[in-house]
Amino acid sequence: MSIRMDNMGIVVEDLSTVIDFFAALGLELEGRAMAEGEWAGRVTGLGDQRVEVAMMRTPDGHGRLELSRFLAPEIVADHRNAPVNALGYLRVMFEVDDLDETLARIEAHGARLVSDEVVQYEDIYRLCYIRGPEDILVGLAQSLR
């Protein structure tokens, strides 16, 4: 049996702003298109839908984010301000080469630390959680080995 994670989906309100944020983080825009009609609604169970989708990938090509902006039907719930111990989607985590440089680069795109500091776990990682545009929760880790 073979299994590979293809992507993780995040629903957003302002697709361009979120694309810019993840591009500043280092992801590459793979494509942007509309997913609409009866076939799309059969997949999601939402019926007739119109969704603008952007697919972003990590530079190594192994990880992808599917960013979706629903035009129809309307968004029914908002979990963006849930604390990190809430049920459901929590965050997406990226390993970066230089955590300080990454934080400085994405700050201009709305990133802010969730806690007051970047934490070091033994001599293995430096870690933090940030909130990006639309309060999307993102974890960042820098390997120290």
pLDDT of residue 45: 86
d(CA 110, CA 106): 7
Per-residue pLDDT at 104: 96
Q: Which CATH superfamily groups domain 92-143?
A: 2,3-Dihydroxybiphenyl 1,2-Dioxygenase, domain 1 (3.10.180.10)
CATH superfamily of 8-72: 2,3-Dihydroxybiphenyl 1,2-Dioxygenase, domain 1 (3.10.180.10)
Q: Could you tell me the pLDDT band of residue 72, with boundaries at 50, 70 and 90?
A: very high
Q: What is 99-117 written as a DSSP string?
A: HHHHHHHHHTTT-EESSSS
Question: What is the pLDDT of the chain when averaged over all its residues?
Answer: 92
Output the six-digit token pair for 21.
């944020």
Q: What is the pLDDT of residue 108?
A: 94
- Please state the pTM of the whole predicted model: 0.90
> Is residue 120 over pLDDT 80?
yes
